[in-house]
Chains A and B, each alone.
Chain A
C-alpha cells in the first residue's frame, strides 16, 4: 500500500523545472480542467457517431464470448488485456493533444480530476463523477445515469449476470495501460456495473505507485 502520495510531478516529460510549475495554472481549479476538456474536444478531435461505437463494440464482445465458449472469466481478462494495449498507445495520443495546456498532477485528487474531466471527455465525451476515498487512497469513477457509452442499448442475459461478466471492462484496462505509460503502477478494478443489477457503475483505481527510474543493465 502507498501511504505517501507521489509528491513530485508525474507527467511524461519528467523535467522538474521550477519555472514550469510557477507558470502553470492552479491545479485545484476544476473549472479550468472542465473548460480545457471541452475546448480540446471541440477543436482538436475528429468525431464519429457514439451509437455506431456502441453497436460495433457490442458485436465485437459477442465474437469474444463465442471465441472463449462462454468462459466469462477469460473474457474479463481478455478485455482488460486488450484495454492495456489500447491504453499504452492512447497515452501518447492524449499528450500529443493536450500537453501544452495541461498542468501537472501533484496528488491523487488531481489525477482523478484529470481522468474524469479531460481524458474521458476527450475520448468518450462523457464525464464520470470523481470520488476520492481519503483513508484507503482509492480513486473512484462513478458513471451515473447510464452515461457510459459502451453499455447503452445493452441488456445482459441472466447466465452472464450470474457469472458477472463486466461488459465494459475494457475501460479499466485502458486506464491501467495509460497510467503505466506515464510510469504509474496501479490496480484498476471494474467494481460494479448497472448491467449486473448494481445501483451504479464504478471503477476503482487503487495502489497507485510511482515506478522509479532505473538505470538499465550495463550502463
Chain B
C-alpha cells in the first residue's frame, strides 16, 4: 500500500506525483475556473482590496501557511499599487524636530552639516533601491484588467470556434503573457515605467534617473533641468526652480540633507562622486526666488 492509497483520491496537491503542471491554455478552456475568475463576489477578484484582508498578525504556523501565502500576495499587490500620501506639514514637523535634535543634542560634533548629509545618504540609498525596483518591475495588474485582456486574446485567436483541437493554433502561455503586458497601458502615477534600465552605465543616465523618477517620488514633480558646466566636463548641475521642502524653512540644513540623498544615489550606482553642493540662486531669475542648483562633481 503506497502513500497515495492511504490518503485516497483527494482533490489538490498530490505528494507522490509532485506539483502538477497546468498550462494557461487549459485553464482558459475550463468553464469552472473561468466562472470563478469572473465572479465579482469573490474578494480575490475585486479591484479594491478591502481592509479586512491582512497578514499583519496572521499566524505563520504550518497549518495555515497556504492561506497566508494567498493573502500575502494580495497585501504585496496592495502595497505596490497604492501610493499613499501624507501632508507635507507632517513631514516637515518630523524632519525639523530631528534636525533640532542633531544640532542641540549632538554637542560633541563640530560639523552638524556633515551629520545631516550622512542621514541624507542613508535615505538616498534606500530610495534608490525602492524607486529602481518600482520602475523596472511592471506594475501588477488588477484581476479585472487581466480578465479583459485574456478575453480579448481569446476573441482574436478564435479558440472557442475551432471545432477540433489543433495544437499549432493554440497559443502558448508565454504568448498570452506577452499579449497582456504589451497591450496593457502600464501607467503608474508617480513613476515612468519606460526608459528605465536595471543599471545606469552613463553619468547622464543616472542624473536623468535622479532628475525624473526619484525627484517625482520625493516631491511629486520633475526637477527642471540638467546642465553640464562648460569648462569642466565632470561637473553637472540639477536645477529645481521651486523646491518643495527647502523653500519653506531652514534652507541650508534641508539642502544638506537633499545633497546627501543625491550623493548616495550617484555613489551607489557605481560612480565616484567627489561632492554635491547646493546653491540658492536668489537673483538669477525674478520669477523663481527660491531657485536652487545642485552641483554634482564626479571623479574621473
Contacts and interface: CB of A to CB of B under 8 A. Distances in A.
Interface string A73-105: 000001000100110011001000000000000
Q: What range describes how many residues of A lie at the interface?
A: 35 or more
A116 to B, nearest CB: 14
Contacts of B54: 144-146
Contacts, number: 118
Contacts of A125: 84-87
B90 interface: yes
Given A51-B130, A125-B86, A59 B91 contact: no
A124 B90 contact: yes
Given A47-B86, A51-B84, A51-B130, A56 B123 contact: yes
Contacts of A57: 94
A32 interface: no
A147 B86 CA distance: 12
B217 A45 contact: no
B42 interface: no
B97 A53 contact: no
- Interface size class on chain B is 35 or more
Contact of B90 (A53, A63, A144): A53
A196 to B, nearest CB: 12
Contact of A67 (B85, B86, B106): B106
A215 interface: no
Nearest to B119: A59
B86 A82 contact: no
A64 interface: yes
Nearest to A152: B79
A86 B101 contact: no
Interface of B: 51, 54, 56-57, 79, 83-91, 93-95, 97-98, 100-102, 105-106, 115, 119, 122-123, 126-127, 130, 190, 217-220, 244
